[in-house]
Amino acid sequence: MATMRWTILIAFAATLSPSLAQDYASRLTAVAYDGAMRANVQGDGHVSARLDGNRLTVTGDFVGLPSDAISVKLYTGPGIGVPGPSIYDLALDGTRAGRISGSVTLNEKALVALKQGHLYLQLNSQRAPDGNLWGWLLPQHDFAGSDVPEAGQGFLPQLDVPGNWTEK
């Protein structure tokens, strides 16, 4: 665990240098829903993102939407798991299943948001125009796999992504 934290911190520091890339990833799952919304926010997906300098390149895929995808965008909020406004459009290829891609130049505020894990991707669909799937872009990290124990406590975003927790 300690090794992973150092790896992430070093990678975070490396993003300050335009010559080194940083990888991010997210699983796309249903946006926040209640029972009335449930039928319209099904589906699954994955995205990977690479930050090179302030250029973020995103690729991903999705499956199982209950209605056709209409847009996919990057959003930012005041915390990991905290929704907010959209800031960049990405490209969509497919309807109920398909691919996501895009390359955007992040402004300074968005760059900080990404490094703090506050940037997320949201896919909107016809019957869920305000959100069908979403996922927060967090530093690429190892996952031992379901049911497989790992030493330490594994990846905890508020501890492993800088800027989300302070002790004084």
Site for other proteins in 29-48 (CB under 8 A): 29-39, 44
CA 33 from chain centre, in angstroms, equals 18
Between 45 and 102, CB nearer to other proteins = 45
Question: Minimum distance between the CB of residue 19 and other proteins, rounded to whole angstroms?
Answer: 28
Q: Assess 136 for contact with other proteins (CB under 8 A).
A: yes
**How many residues appear in the chain?**
168
Q: Which of 53, 66, 94, 157 binds other proteins (CB under 8 A)?
A: 157
Give the interface size with other proteins as a residue count (CB under 8 A).
Answer: 49
Burial environment of residue 27 by CB neighbours within 10 A (0 to 12, 13 to 18, 19 or more): middle
Q: How far apart are the first and last CA of the chain?
A: 23
Q: Assess 138 for contact with other proteins (CB under 8 A).
A: yes
6-14, 16-24, 100-108, 144-152 -> range binding other proteins (CB under 8 A): 144-152
Question: Minimum distance between the CB of residue 18 and other proteins, rounded to whole angstroms?
Answer: 27
Q: Contact 125/71 with Cβ under 8 angstroms?
A: no
Burial environment of residue 31 by CB neighbours within 10 A (0 to 12, 13 to 18, 19 or more): buried
Q: Assess 166 for contact with other proteins (CB under 8 A).
A: yes
The CB-side HSE value for 114 (13 A sphere, CA atoms) comes to: 31
- Write the binding mask 102 to 131 for other proteins: x where contact by CB under 8 A, - elsewhere: ---------------x--------------
Q: Assess 159 for contact with other proteins (CB under 8 A).
A: yes
Burial environment of residue 115 by CB neighbours within 10 A (0 to 12, 13 to 18, 19 or more): buried
Binding site for other proteins (CB under 8 A): 1, 26-27, 29-39, 44, 77-83, 117, 134-136, 138, 141, 143-144, 146-159, 164-168
